[in-house]
Structure 1
Amino acid sequence: MHSSPEFRSLKAKIRLLCKQRRIRLEEFMKTFDVHRVKKIKSEQFKRALDVSGLHLSSTEINLLLMKYRIPDDPSFVDYRRFCDLMDKVFTVKGLEAKPSIHSSTRGDFEALKTFALEALTPAEEAILAVIKQKLLAAVMNKGIVLKDVFHDFDRSNAGKVTRPQFVRDISDIVVLSSEEMDVLLKAYGDKLDVHYRALHFDICPGASGAGTKAAQPRSPERRHLSAPNGTHQCDAVQELEAELAELVLRDRIRTKNFFTDFDQLRTGKCTEAQFRRCVKLCFPIVTDSDLALLVQKYGTIKTLDTTKVDYIRFCNSVEGRIKLENNNYDDILATITKATNHSSADKCSRTMRGSLTDTDASVHQAMMQRLHTYCSTRRVLIKPTFQDFDKGKREHITVDQFFRVMAMFKLTLNSDSERKALLQRYSSSHGDRFVNYVTFCYDLENWGSDNQRSGSRPSSRGLVSEIIVPAKLRADTFEETAAESHVRSVPMLIRYIKQTIKRDRIRLEEYYRDFDKLRHGKITAAQFCAGLNAAGFLLSRAEMALLGDEYACQEVDSMGKHWIAWKAFVDDVESVFTVKNLEQNPHHDLKTLETREGQFGGVIIDKDLTPDEEEEVKRVLLKMKREIARQRMEIKPAFEDFDRSKQGFISSTKFERVLSMFALLPALASDTRLLVIKFREQAAIGTSATLSSICDVNYRAFLQALQILGGYLTNSSAEDIRKLVLPGSVAFRQEVYQSGIVNHDATKRRARDDLGGKADLSQLLADLRRQLSEKRIRLKEFVVEGDKLRSGEITVAKFHTALNRSGCVLDAADIQTLSEHFRSTRNPDKINWRSFLEALDFSHGVSIPTSARSNQEQQQDNVKLILERLRNEVNHRRLHMKPYFQDYDHNNVTRVTKFQFAAVLDMMHLCLKPAEVQTLTYQFAHRDGRKMTSDVNYLSFIQAVDSDYS
C-alpha cells in the first residue's frame, strides 16, 4: 500500500502544475467518458494524464491508480474524485450549498518550497546574489522579459527547461563563469531541469516576490502570505499594501473603477461582501486572511448585519495618493469643493497647476520666461518629442524622460531650486514620479500672453450639480480656458461662425429645430447656447451672452430671460451660402454679398498697402532674390507640393512654412504680414467672394514678383526700383488671361477633338470587326442594355457607354464618325444601333465604290499568286525560315522590321522583285490598333507559305 507522505507530495506537485498552467484535468478525462459515468479505464486515465502535459513518472501514475481505482471494478478509475481533489487549488465544489465553509489552498504547497537538492553554503549565497545583480542589470539595460527567453524550449509551459537549454539561453543575456553557472543551476535546478520561471520572479523588477531567496521563489501564482499575529497586524497590512501597490504599478490597474458600480451615489463606501468581491477581481492572489485584514483596517460603519468599507482610502493607499484618514461624507464634500475651486493643493492637470511658495514662484517665473524666450526665438517645438515617450496618450511621462527631452533641446536648468519648482508645479496627478508635459508645453508656448494667469480658475459649474451628477464632472480644455481670457465682439463672432459653417458645410437650422417644435422662431437662452455647443463652436459664456443680447426678443420666459430669435440668427449666418426667399424677390440686390465684408458681417479687412509698406515689401523681396540667386535655389516645386489641385495659391501658414524651409522667412513678423497682404488671393473686383481667400497666398504672383526684381539686381539704380510697381494676385491673373494661355484640361481636350478629322468609315468598321473577332466581344449585349423596349434606337450617351464597356479601342474621332453616320433619321439625338450592327456584320457592309473594290480585288490576286509561288518553293527546297526570323526577334514578339524581313527573304534566295517584297510587307504588316506600322508579322507570313505551320 502507498504511503501517505508520498501521495501528499504527489498531490502538491500536480496541484502546483495545474495552478501554473491553468489546467483543468477533468477536460482531458471527459474525452474518454462518452456516457458521462465519471469513470474511465486505467489505460485511458494514463493517456489523459499524458495528454495534459504533466509529465508524471510510471511510479507516480501507478500510485494514482492504486488510490483511485474502483474496488468493485479494478479496470476502471474514478476520475471525478481525482479531479475534484486537484481542482481545489482553484475552488471547492459545493460552496453554494455550504457558504460557511472557509477554503484555503495554501497548505498544499508547503512541501514544494525548494528546487535545490542541497542547501546553498554562505559563499554560494553570496555568489548567487552577485549573479542576480548581473541578471537584473542586463534585463534592465536590454529591456528583456526573462521568462520569455525560455518559452521556445518550454512547449508545455511547465516553467522549466533542461540544463543545456537553460545554459544556452542564459549565455545570450549575461556572461557568467563556470563557477557562477554551477551555483545558478544548483539553486534553481533539480535532477534534470532548471526552473526558469522561479528565477524570473526572483530578479525581474515589478514582479511580485522579487528579491527573495532562490529556495523560496515567490510569484503571483505561488505567494505565501501567512496569517500575522495580533501584534504584527499593522506591519502585515503595510507589507500587503506595498505588494498590491507594486501590482497596480506594474499592471496599471485602475482600482477605483471596480468599486464604482456598487456605489451609484459615490459615497466612497460599499459593503464588506462587495469590497471582498472587487478586491478579488483586482488582485486574484489575495487570500481570505488578507481580505480580513483589509476589511478590519478600512471598515468604518458596522451594523448588526453588514459592515461598510471605505474603498476610497484603500484605492488611494495602493495607488500612492494622499490618504484621507476620516473619509466620511463631509470629507468627500470638502474634496469635491476643493476640486471645484481648483485649489492649489491639487496636482497638475489641464486646468490646475501645483502650488508654489513666493520664493519658488519667483524662481519659476524667471525660469519660464527664459525658456519661453529661447523656444520662441529658435522656434523649438518640443511637444512631439514628449509624445514619443507617451505611447498611451496619458499626457504624462516620467521625470527621467522629461529631463531627457529637456537635455535634447538644451533647455538647461540653472539650479536645483528651478528643478524643484518645475516638478512641484507640473507634477502629475498619477504620482510624484510623473510630469504633466501637456500643461508644461501649453504654459511654455503661451507664457508671454498669460504669464500673469493664476494657477487656479473658478469652475464654470456649480457645486450642487457636481454632487448630484458626479459622472458629468470634466476638466476644462485649453480651448475653453483660452476663450475665456478675452471676449470677441459680435461682428467677430458672426465672422467666426460664418467661416466655420462654410468650411465644414454646417447647417445651424438642424441644431435648433428640435427646440422649436411649433416653429415660432423663438427659443430660450439655454437652448440657444446648447445649439451652438452641439454644432461645435468654441464660445465662452460671455460671448454667448453677447449673441443672445443681439438676437433677443421682447418677450421673456418663465425664468425672466429674453427669448432668442434663432431664425433671424440662422438666416444671418447662413447668408454666406445664399439669401433666402430669392424666389419671392428675384430683383434683390446681391452686390453686398460679392465682397468679404458682405459675407462676414462687415468685418474690416486688410486694405491695400501704403507706399511705405510697398517699399518695405520691395526691400524684403530684393533680399530674398539675392539669397535665392546666391544659393541657386528652386522654390517653386516646394509651393506646388502643397498645391495638389494646381490652383496657384496656398494657405498663409503653408506659405510661411515653405519660406522657413529655405531660410527665407523674414525675421520680423510684420514683414511676413506685409507679404501675405500683398500677394493674398483675391478676385478681380476688389476682394474675393470665397472663404478660403481670407488666409490664402498666390505663390505664382509672388514668384513673378521675384522674377521681375531679378532683372533689377544689376545695372539698375535706386530710383528705378522705387518707381517699380510689383503686381499683386489680381494683376497677375489679369495678365495671364490677357496673354491667351489656356491651362484648363477640358478646354485643351475640346480643342483637340474639334481639330481632329473624321476617320475612314470602311477602315473603322474593318478594325472593329477585327477587334470583335480577336477579343470575342459580343457587342450587341452591351448595346441592347440601353434599349429596354427594343425600339432600335438609343441615346448618344448610352451608345458611347456601350462602346466603352465593350472594351473596343476607339479614339474621339472614331466615336464621332460612328455617331454621325449611324444617327437616327427619326430622332437626331439618338443612334440607330440596328443599322450599326448590320454594318459590322460581314454579310452586310458599307457600300464601297466600284473602282476601289476592283483595286482591292486585283491586289488580293497578286498576293495569292506570290504566296502560291513561295509555297511551292518552300516545299520543294524544304526551307525552314522561322529560325532566321527569330535571330532578329530577341524578345519573341513575332515581328521584325521590313528591312530584316527583306534580308531573310534574300538569304533564302527566293527570287522576288522589290515590288513583290513591298506587297508582302504591306500584306503582313503589324497593326497597332488600327494604325499600320513598318514592322512585319513574320509568324503570319510563315503560316501562309509553310505547310508545316499552316
Structure 2
Amino acid sequence: MEDSQCIPIQAKASEINLGRGVQSRFYHIRDYHAKGRAFYNAKKTKIMDSDKSCCSRIWTKRIRVNEFFQDYDKLRSGYVSAPQFFRCLWQTLSLKFNEDEERALCLKYGLLDNGKINYKSFCDVIDLNFDPKNIYASPELQKVVPLEYLGTIRSKRPLTVDSESRLVGILRRMQQFYNVRGINLRTQYEDFDRHHRGVVSESQFYRNFPGPIDIDEEDMKTLVEKYNDPNNPGLVNYLNLHHDVLAVHKFVLAEKDPGQNFVDRNVDMVSLFPTKDPTLSEILDKVRVSVYKNGIRTIEFFKDHDKLRSGVITENQFVCGLALACGKEAQLSRPEIQKVVEYYRLPDGRIQYKEFCDSMENAFNIPDLEKKPTESVQRPLRGTLSRGLKPLSEIEEQRLCEVINTIADKVATDRIMIYQYFKDYDRSKAYTRVVTPTQFARILHFLGLNVNNQDLLLLLNKFQDPASGDVNYPAFVQAVDREFVGHTIDDADISDQNRTNVVIQAKEDKWVESPPVNFEELMARIRHIVLANRLRVNEYFQDYDGLRSGSISIPQFRRGLAVMGLSKLGHHDLNDNQFKQLVDYYRNPAKHNNGHITRTQFRQAFKILEIPVEEPELHCLEALYCNDVGVCYTAFLADLEPQEPVPFMYVKRMEELRLTNCKQALPEQRAKSDLESVFLKIKTKVCKERLRVYEFMKDYDKLRSGRMLKTSFRRALNLARLDLLESEVAMLEDKYQSGCDPDFVEYLRFCQEIESIFTKDHLEKSPLEEVEQFKPDEEWTVTELSADEEEKLNCCLLRIAEKVRKHQMQLFPLFEDYDRVHNGAVSQSQFRRVLMELELASLASDTDVKLIWRKYQMQVGGRTDVNYIAFCEKVCDLAGFEYRKP
C-alpha cells in the first residue's frame, strides 16, 4: 500500500472512536477492515501489550473470562458487539483501554461488517498456556506463569543495604532448615487464609512461623517489612515469601552445580538480591540521615506547589524542592537527584512527593507509634548521625595538635569552663551543638584564648561541618578541656558493651550471668544521664509513695528507674547485677521494723555509744523493757528522750477550709439575662478569635460519648477563655443537661451549636443549600440610649460636624497616634484629649462627652474604651464628606 493511501486511511481510523458505545462509529467498517492491515502491522506492539495486560489480570484473579462474555452471547455464536466486549473487560477486569488499544484489539480479533468481535478467539489466546499441536516442545517450557501470584504485588521499595543483606541471609537459613525437615511454608498458613488470597495478618504470620530457631525478633521484622502488602496495610504476603524460598533453593543448587540453568520466572532475582546495585539505596539512606540529623520537614518544601494536596507535583518542582530541602546537607549531585526522580515518577510524568516525604521522615520512626506500644523503633547505627571531623594533612595535623595543646594548658591553668559559653550561642528550638565561625572566634576572644588568623582557620577547617559550614563546638571543647564529660561519639556506653557481650555469649551458652560492675562507675553514669537530660529524679518515685515516707517496694523502684530512662528503651539498660547493687545500697533497714531488738543487740548499743552501764543496771533495764519478742527499744527511747505529741490538726484545718469556702462571691457585672444573649456573646468571641470549642472539651471525654461532667464543662469553658459569668454558665448547663444523668452535660450539642456560625453539618447531603456566614455586630451598634439622650447626642455631633466641614479637619491621624496596637479604640481620657487638640471640646459639654462614650464604647481587655473609628465616620457622614476622605 502506498504512503499516499495510508495517510487518509489513518486519518479516517482516528476519526472512528471504537468501544465508546455509539453505534454510528461502525459506519464504513468494510472499507476500514479491508485497508487497515497496514495499520494493524504498525500497532502490533500495542496489541501484544494489551494481550499481556489482559492475561496478567485474568491469571492473577483466577477467573474464566469466557463465562462473562457468554452472558452477551445468547446463541453461543462466539461474537459480541464492540461495546459489549469492552464493557465486559471493564466490569470484570477493571481494564480501561485508550483509543489506539481498542482499535488494535478490534483489528486483531476480527471486527465484522455488523460490528461484532470474536471473543472466542480472544478467550482461547488468554486461556492457552501451551500449544497442544506442538508435540516436540515440552509443555513445561511453553507454560506461561504470571510474575506475581494471586495478584499480590511485592513492595518495590528497596530496604537499606544492611537490611537487604540481612534478608538474603535469612532466606538462605530458612531454605536450609525447610529442605532438611521437609517443611512447606505455604501449607503452614493455608488454615489462616480461608479465601486463598495469599496473605495473612501480621499476628497470624508471627504465630505460625515455622522456624528456624535462630530467627530472632529483628529478623521477623525484616521479613514483615519486606513482604507487607502495600495495598492492604497489616497483611503479610506469605506466598511471595514461599516462592522466594523456593527460588533461593534453586539458586543454591545452581551455585553447587554451575552447569545447571535454573530459571524461575515467578521471582525477580535482581529484586531478591538487590545488593548488586545499591546506588539508589545509598542515596535514599543518605537523604534519610540528613533529614533526621538536621530536623528537616521535607513536606514543607513541596506542598506549596501542590495546591490541591493531591500528593503529586511536576518533575521540575520536585527537583527544586529536593535541592532546596537537603541538597546541600546530603550533598546530592544532579545524577543522584535524577535517580530519585525516576524512582518516584508516575506514568504521566509527575512525581509522588508525598510518598517520598513519608519515607524520609519515618526513616527512624514508626507512624502512629502511640497505637503500637510494643513496637521497637529502628535506631540508626552508632556514629551514623554524628558529625565527623575532616582529615587534614600531616603538617596541618601537627600544627593543630600544638595549638590545641596550648589552648588546653591555658584552660587547665585558668580553670575555664568553656562549654557553657558556646552553649549560650546555641539558641535554636533544640540544641544543634554547632555555632557559626564568627561566633566561634568571638567566644575564643572573650575567653582570652586568642590565636592568630592562620591557626583560627586551621581550627575551623578541622571542626567545621562540610555541609553547613558551622563549627562543632562539643568536639572542640572535648579536645581542649580534659575535664569535660559531655556525651560524644567516643564515649563508652556501659550498657551497649554489656549487652553485646551478653548476647554473644548467650548465643553460645544459652545463659550467662551479668558481668560485675563498679558502683561508683554506675552512679557516675546515672548522674551523667540525669544531668544531660535535666531529670527531676524525685518525680519518678514519689507517685508510688502516697504517704511520702521515703520508701517504696523493690518492683516500684525498678519501675521508676525504667520510666526515668534506665531500661532497654531508654538511655542505659540496667542488668541484674547493677540493679541488685543499687537495691543493696539504698535498701531501707526499717522495712520490717517492729520496734524490738535482742538483748545482745541492746547491750551492744550501749558499748558502741560508750555509755557506762553496770551489769545490775542492765538487768533492771531489761526487766523493765523486755517482753516475749525482745527488748522494746522504742519505749526505752521514749522514756529517755520524751517528745511532745504532734497535735491532731485535721479537724481544725477542715473548719478553716469550710469557713474559706463559705465566703460570698462578688456580684456579677453586666451579666446576660437570657440564653440568646449568652449564645451571641460566645459566638461573637469564637468568630473574632477563630476558636474551636470542641478542642478544649474532647480531652475530658475519653470514650467520645458526647457527654462530660458539669465540673469538667466549667473547666473547659475557662480554658477556652470565653469570659462567662457564673449565671451564664448555669444557663448553659440547664440547657444542655443530659437526660440520662443530671451530673453530665451534652457538650457535643453545645459545640455543634457554636460552630454552626462557620458552616453546617452534613452539607454533602444538601449540596444546594446556601450557608450564611455569621457576622457579629459591632459593639457600639447594640448600645441603647433613651430618646432624650439620642437627641442630645445628635445635636452635639451636628455641632462638631459643622465645624469639621468648615475647617476641613482630619480626625483620624490624631486618634491613630494614641492607637499603638491598631485595634480601633482609645481610652476615654485620650478621646477627650484629642477633642481638645482639635478645638472641639468647647462644642461638647461633659454630659455630651459622656453620651459619646456610652454610645461608642467597646470592651478591650476588661476595660471600657471608645471606638474612635465609628465616631469619626459618623462625624464625616454628617459633614457630607466622602467615605474616608475629608
Q: TM-score, normalised by structure 1?
A: 0.28
Decide which structure has the larger Cα Rg and report it: 1
